[in-house]
Chain A
Amino acid sequence: MPSQVNRALPFRERHWYGILVWIMAWSLMWWLDGDFVFQNLALILVLASAVAGLWIGPLTSLLINTLSIFYFSYFFVNPRLSFTPALREDLMLLVSVYGVSTVISYLTVRLRRAVTSEALQAARTSQLRLLSEQLREATGWLAKVDVLRKLLADHAGVPAYILLTRSQLAVCDGHQFEFFGEPSPFQKQRLILEWKPFSVDPSTLSKADDSARAIPIRGREKTWGVVVFHDGFEPSTDWLGYPHFRDLCYQLGIELERYIALVQAREANEQVRTQAIRNTLLTAISHDYHTPLSTIMGAASVLVEQTKGDRHAEFAGLASTIVEETEQLHRMTNNTLQMARLDAVGIELNKNWESLEEIIGTVIARIKRRCSDRQFIVHLPPDLPLLHVDVVLLMQLLDNVLQNSLKYSRDESVITIDAVSADHEVFIRLSDCGEGIPGWWHEKVFEIFQRVDGVDLPSDGRTGRQPRRGAGVGLAVCRAIARVHGGRIWIEDNPGGGTRVNIALPIGAPPALPLSASEELT
């Protein structure tokens, strides 16, 4: 298995090896004693010190060297069984041997450490590279996380458990976390507890405590999750310790970031493409409708005019129906066209300082041209500020809301419009006394292609159950219009029965007035 780690490093610190070397050296000296003069035997001391340095630390080396030189002086140097050599040359020899063996053993230790650290570094690097390749090859984020989990468990010798937050992965299905390695309920609790400090402030992680047993899975920008090991695991102090585990986890963090970015880019591309196709289609269709609609409207309105007061009153009625239906179709076409426009990236609004009173007045006037018998009550405070809006869009918003109110309320009922300005927003409320909309639909009606269909509503006393028309674009357009203005729209029950639509629009800083205006404007 390629991920298998070679834990055997050249010349790891093993004191027994060093001591064995010394025992062999002393045995050799005792054996050769008599055949060789002690001056020659002293060279064995130098050799032993150099070889033992491969396995023992510098201090131990120094200690053994010192002991050895006294031992050698006592047993081998003339006069024997005395620490004082007879000749000054012999003392000189002992001092030289001690010096040389100390220096050599020190150098050997240094060399060993350099070689070991290099080998360690190489092993770590190659493993990180290997992991990064494996992560890259694994398809899907689940597989990627599993690659890391298996590797960590392999190293630690105990099961490793991973918690990943779903919110970061943009796969939300109601669960907040994804667990790996089949943790027990207890382990799950531990994972969540360990995750908490990481989720609060990822910046504190840069100096994570090495003794902590939870290892964060971090990328360059965010923290994805956390790893814990099965109970009783103590991170080793050798090269496979906490820092290396953290580096391995970092590989996964980076890979997840790369992978998610890739997936998101692909999805965004796809979405832009489908949206562009849809919008082009909608725009083309809606645009092409305008001219035939004008023709129908022109022809039908001539008929209305020509049959007015005529004995063919039923023809006038039929012609009026054509006119009304054409207007309805025109409104729906406009909504569809606007929806496509508002969906498009980088839409430019034609904003101006507008008076809400004028806009509402115009919308009502247009509605009254069609249904002159409907009653509207408008309460607008005189100090209502001007709004910085695209007037055509805002009119479309209000018209759509009022059309809905008209459609779902009795002819004789009154529609009330009022507005207040508070803090940084103007609130517009449009209330009808119609059928009302069930609570669970208050949000849904704003989604495109959603209508309160199939819901058991009280029937209209006048016409019985009214067929619901339109593809459900109207209120979706309203929300889109409110959104592009930095505003909101929502529905609540009208206290007196029926529906109340609330619109909140931000108030900007209105432009200054001419000086003369202060005298003229009251």
Chain B
Amino acid sequence: MAGQVLLVEDDRSLRQTLTKALELGGYRVVQAESIAEGTLSFSTMINRSDSEAIKLIIVDLGLPDGDGASLIRWVRTQSSVPLIIISARYDDNSKVNLLDAGADDYLVKPFSFTELMARIRVAMRHRHQDENPAPRIYRASGIEIDLQRHQVIRHGERVRLTPTEFKLLERLMLQSGQVVTHRQLLADVWGAEFVEHTHYLRLYMAQLRNKLEEVPSQPKLLITEPGIGYRLSEAEPI
């Protein structure tokens, strides 16, 4: 069994469908239809034995007794369990704030089973990384990033990166497969005072794509999450 998932969703049909989907994916599901119920379930199960503990939380942002954000903030004060947000719209700004506040990833309705499973898989993997040392080597789409040796190899040839480019890539690799918000990238690469300067990112990402992507205008590695941030594709299994 892959573990127990807490699903907080008020719409009954969607909740049941997602439960079925998660069960097919090998998860056990604890359902909750409001923030109150979700909070209760989480606090009673947080201290259970490993097999019963909640390994992941999926929260819809539009809940009857709040917007889900309060639940996320509360959970983050309690534990570092992976959190995935379900948002109704692309232009919903609250999800960026929630990602900055510690949510792991987001999905916009309507999403497919494959997308859901991919997000869960990545979130779970990063959760394990918190416990085990993070990999120092990343491989995908003919690119190899080696943090130890501080080098990037593309099709066997070393790519020359500027220090900022490398730092940017390193930050994305830390959460490969997961979205990293503009704010997080700017704060970690340039410093906290630069969090509003998203145009830095545009220019550096364009340059990184020119160096690493086959077709920079149709990237496979450095994925844009419009209005939110960037995502380095999930590493290929070694």
Contact = CB atoms under 8 A, between A and B. Distances in A.
A192 interface: no
A125 interface: no
B112 interface: yes
Contacts of B113: 298, 301-302, 304-305
Interface in A500-522: 510-511, 513-514, 516-517, 519-522
Nearest to A352: B198
A358 B223 CA distance: 9
Interface string A59-81: 00000000000000000000000
A290 interface: yes
Given A362-B226, A376-B218, A380-B217, A297 B111 contact: yes
A294 B164 CA distance: 40
A336 to B, nearest CB: 13
Given A353-B198, A355-B205, A297 B112 contact: yes
Given A323-B112, A327-B110, A357-B206, A520 B164 contact: yes
B110 A520 contact: no
9 contacts: A291-B109, A299-B21, A302-B21, A304-B112, A304-B113, A334-B90, A357-B206, A358-B206, A521-B207
Given A295-B11, A295-B13, A516-B164, A391 B112 contact: no
B10 to A, nearest CB: 9
Contacts of B226: 354, 358-359, 362, 391-392, 395
Contacts of B217: 357, 360-361, 364, 378, 380
Max chain A C-beta neighbours (<10 A), residue from B13, B24, B110 = B110
Interface in A340-369: 350, 352-355, 357-362, 364-365
B87 to A, nearest CB: 10
Contacts of A302: 17, 20-21, 24, 113
B224 interface: yes
Given A353-B202, A511-B199, A293 B21 contact: no
A511 B206 CA distance: 17
A173 to B, nearest CB: 41
A355 B222 CA distance: 14
A353 B199 contact: yes
B66 interface: no
Interface string A194-234: 00000000000000000000000000000000000000000
Closest 5 CB pairs of A and B: A297-B110, A301-B112, A301-B113, A353-B199, A294-B109
Given A353-B198, A353-B199, A386-B199, A521 B218 contact: no
A330 B219 CA distance: 25
Contact of A291 (B11, B116, B207): B11
A301 B111 CA distance: 9
B47 interface: no
Given A352-B198, A360-B217, A298 B14 contact: yes
A292 interface: yes
A461 to B, nearest CB: 27
A514 B14 contact: no
Given A298-B110, A358-B224, A365-B223, A386 B202 contact: yes
B203 interface: yes
B90 A392 contact: yes
A353 B206 CA distance: 13
A142 interface: no
If over half of A's interface residues share one DSSP class (helix, strand or loop), that class is named, otherwise mixed; here it is: helix
A280 interface: no
Interface of B: 11, 13-14, 17-18, 20-21, 24, 86, 88-91, 93, 109-114, 116, 162-165, 190, 194, 197-200, 202-207, 215-219, 223-224, 226-227
Given A302-B113, A362-B226, A520-B207, 15 more contacts: A290-B109, A291-B14, A297-B110, A298-B18, A298-B110, A299-B21, A301-B113, A305-B113, A326-B110, A327-B110, A358-B226, A364-B218, A392-B91, A514-B197, A522-B207
A130 interface: no
Contact of A306 (B24, B89, B206, B207): B24
A243 to B, nearest CB: 62
B13 A510 contact: no
A351 to B, nearest CB: 11
A266 B227 CA distance: 41
B111 A298 contact: yes
Interface of A: 287, 290-299, 301-302, 304-306, 323, 326-327, 330, 334, 337, 350, 352-355, 357-362, 364-365, 376, 378, 380, 386, 390-393, 395, 510-511, 513-514, 516-517, 519-522
Contacts of B109: 290-291, 293-294, 297
Contact of B88 (A290, A305, A513): A290
A521 B204 contact: yes
Given A294-B14, A298-B14, A299-B17, A362 B112 contact: no
B203 A294 contact: no
B202 A295 contact: no
Contacts of A510: 199
B28 to A, nearest CB: 17
B93 A350 contact: yes
Nearest to B90: A392
Nearest to A395: B226
A511 B197 contact: yes
A350 B14 contact: no
A296 B218 contact: no
Contacts of A362: 223-224, 226
A521 B111 contact: no
A395 B21 CA distance: 30
Contacts of A326: 110
A521 B91 CA distance: 31
Contact of B21 (A298, A376, A392, A521): A298
Contact of B110 (A290, A305, A519): A290
B206 A361 contact: no
B110 A513 contact: no
Contacts of A323: 112
A357 B200 contact: no
Contact of A521 (B17, B24, B203): B203
Contacts of B218: 361, 364-365, 376, 378
Contacts of B162: 519-520
B89 A294 contact: no
A395 B165 CA distance: 26
A386 B203 CA distance: 9
Contact of B206 (A293, A301, A355, A391): A355
